[in-house]
Structure 1
Amino acid sequence: MAEPVNTGNGGGAKETGGSDSTGIYAAAKIQYSGSVAKGGGTGNVTSSDVNWTPPPCWYAPYLGAKDFKKQMSKSIEDQMSTPGMGGTAGSALGQTQSHYEDEFGWAGHPGYKDYNVDKDGEGMFWAGVENPNESDVLKRKSCSALPFWVDNGEAPPPEYEEAISPEILAGLAYQHMQLPDTKVTLAPAANTKVNLPTWAWLNKAVFDEVQATAALNAPGFNIQATTTAKPVSLKLEPGTADATTYPASGECVINADGSIGEPYAQGKSGQTPPCGLKYLRSSGDGTYNLRATITWDIAWTGTGGTGGDLPNGTFGSEQAITVQEIQAVNR
């Protein structure tokens, strides 16, 4: 497979899909844009569905007919490095060349005449591209087919289920999405007292929906998908079993105005916070690690009116809380 390069999580416009000094993989580049939350992102979203993973690989436009013929006329080492050729060896390589040279084919895979040179400019050979952020085990499971031809404007043959599509791009955009820090505002702040309710909240201005777009533009083939994450709830985990959360589930839902929780104000000391917690034991000489995790509802839209839902995402961070005993004065 082609090894994508110049990849990264988050940031502004990013590319993946390959681009060596000759530009040989340029057609497989995927452009990323957006993806960073207001004020700068701090980490990638984690899927709440343990069975869901971003695409480990995909098929994408690779080379035109003349360029592919040129690639296959190089040394055996260069040919072996061609996407899809890694498992081809010895005499099988010559048989593979015949597949492109003189219409040698097999069931469901007709051969090509002179690498389709007479159709140069009318389509491209597609090949497997690996997702550099996924495990090698997942990569090896698919996308190992020999390069195949697709006419400009035509859909890839249906048997290539991993052919790049808006849905695959949506999964890649999901993987690149950078979410904002989830440090909540507390009252009292970093220091609180045993049995004293601590209010917690997040203003809408601190976090908002985040979008990431992934696009692939090649001759005769242009698609994209935009993934949108919207915050829906805040989960508080006190860092100790000796604590009570408000509400009892520890999950504070988003308000109508897009905020979570309610800021503390004078006169509320006797009230129960709509979002917060109460520590029942001192942290002693140390601190408790309060973890605040935002759950994000994630959906996507893509080329051709496509779209749908993706698994909810989560992103959280920890902040140290000192809990002191309330000192009583004996007279």
Structure 2
Amino acid sequence: MPVTGSRRALIGAGVLTLALSVLALAEPAYAAGPAGKDEGASTEESGGGDSTGIYAAAKIQYSGSVTKDGSTGNVTSSDVNWTPPPCWYAPYLGAKDFKKKMSEEIETAKNTPGMGGTAGSAIGQLEQHYEDEYGWTDHPGYKDYNVDKDGDGMFWAGVENPNEPDVLKRGSCNEIPFWVENGDTPPPQYEEAIKPEILAALAYQHMTLPDTKVTLAPAATTKVNLPTWAWLDKAVFDEVQATAAVNVPGFNIQATTTAKPVSLKLEPGTDDAQTYPASGVCTFNADGSIGEPYAKGKSDETPPCGLKYLRSSGNGTYKLRATITWQISWTGTGGTGDNLPDGTFGATQDITVQEIQAVNH
């Protein structure tokens, strides 16, 4: 019994709102799984599953250089307008398991005090949608929860990104669960359906980069007007990779996000200083190093990467910040891939600057 036009809009709004409350207990669909940090280590069983045998298919497996607890990593995007996906649609349950879970939740909702009137009607329509092929535009109904197709596909549902602080954005994937045959892609109206590009962004969000501590000469204590050399050994930094994957029966995709260091920026922590080069940005050398180690006899030379303080730090210290810019790209299932915004991560070092003039020998 298809419904169109304004009636569809009215009914659809009520059904969708109530569907979210009906599915509120389906926790496996609403949280990405914990992440791991060991290079190449998978952190979750492929395909998921809980004690009832119901697939927690929405859980994402993370590996490589990622946070251990599923929290946001330490990479800051250079594009302030870029953000990881706040939510997405992903495989949730097979037909039989979905019928079991949904029937229980609908029955609970129907017996909840106050679920009469419009709310009760919407719950009834939701039940008809999955049992009696009750549908409307863009939302075809299902006969007996598609149980006769069990194993041939899965119901997909909205998944919230637990690291998204905006609750409205986090809950914006609020379409009721829909069926997708194995090997097929979701209908075009589900733009947020999980795909390699989304996994790449999530890998970016969970990625951890190594600490940035440059070698200095002089080290933690220097002199006013004395050039301080700064460098990073080529062995300190290499490409960093993080992988996110979804692996369930009939649906397997993954994406690997790679961060490649490209430059170092020095910020002295005071305006009374000069940087070398003047921009404070030191690019990587051909061998993967940055700058040049100081050696005796170079005290009169200008360092290719470094700084010079023009005023004493007095009884305190200056906070020298060294920030690495990383070029971010990704590759994924089906030959997909592209660039993502550059990422940055830095650290501060305490620098004492003394008034006494001195020269290195």
Same fold flag (TM > 0.5) = yes
Superposition CA RMSD, Å: 2.3
Instruction: Find the aligned partners of 1:316 and 1:106 in 2 and give their Cα distance.
Output: 52
Letter of the 1:7 counterpart: P
User: Is the CA contact 1:10–1:44 (under 8 Å) kept in the aligned structure 2?
Assistant: no
Once the two structures are TM-superposed, the CA of residue 109 in structure 1 deviates from its matched residue by 1.4
CA contact (8 A) 1:9 1:178 kept: no
More strand as a share of residues: 1
Does residue 3 in structure 1 map to residue 30 in structure 2?
A: yes
Contact 1:9 1:176 survives alignment (8 Å): no
Per-residue CA deviation, residues 252-294 of structure 1 (Å, 9 max, x unaligned), is 0111111111110111111000000000000000000000000
Alignment of 1:5-84 (within 5 A): 6-8=33-35, 10=37, 12-14=41-43, 21-22=51-52, 24-35=54-65, 44-76=74-106
Q: Which residue of 1 aligns with 2:176?
A: 146
Per-residue CA deviations over 1:14-54 (Å, capped at 9, x if unaligned) read: 459986654545211211111259xxxx9521111000011
Residues 265, 281 of structure 2: 8 Å contact kept: yes
Partners of 1:288 and 1:269 in 2: how far apart? Answer: 22
Segments of 5+ residues of structure 2 without an aligned counterpart are: 1-23, 111-117
Q: Does 1:115 align with 2:145?
A: yes
Equivalent pair of 2:228/2:307 in contact (CA under 8 Å): yes
1:155 pairs, out of 163, 180, 185, with: 185
Does the Cα contact within 8 Å between 1:183 and 1:317 map onto a contact in 2? Answer: yes
Identity %: 78
Pair 325,187 (structure 1): closer, same or farther in 2 beyond 3 Å: same
Number of equivalent positions: 316
Which one has a larger percent helix, Structure 1 or Structure 2? 2
- The answer (yes or no) to whether the contact 1:291–1:318 under 8 Å persists in 2 is yes
Amino acid at match of 1:191: T
Task: Find the residue that maps to 1:90 and give its secondary structure.
Answer: helix
Aligned residues of 1:44 and 1:178 also touching (Cα < 8 A): yes
Write the letter of the residue equivalent to 2:168. Answer: V
Alignment equivalent of 2:280, drawn from 228, 237, 250: 250
CA distance in 1, matches of 2:186, 2:228: 57
- Match among 111, 121, 127 for residue 91 of structure 1: 121
- The whole-number CA distance in structure 2 between the counterparts of 1:205 and 1:25 is 43
Cα 1:57–1:18, aligned 2, differ >3 Å: closer, same or farther?
A: farther
**Worse overlay, 243-252 or 89-98:** 89-98
Pick one of 199, 223, 236 that aligns with 2:229.
Answer: 199
Q: Distance in 2 between matches of 1:5 and 1:108?
A: 28
Indicate if the aligned counterparts of 1:3 and 1:18 stay in contact, CA closer than 8 A: no
Which residue identity lines up with residue 208 of structure 2 in the other structure?
Q
**Closer, same or farther in 2 for the Cα pair 1:159/1:36, shift >3 Å?**
closer
* Whole-angstrom distance in 2 between the partners of 1:6 and 1:247: 45
**Given the alignment, which residue of 153, 167, 180 partners 2:197?**
167
TM-score normalised by L of structure 1: 0.90
TM-score of the two chains, using structure 2 as the length reference: 0.82
For residues 125 and 64 of structure 1, what CA distance do their matches in structure 2 show? 6
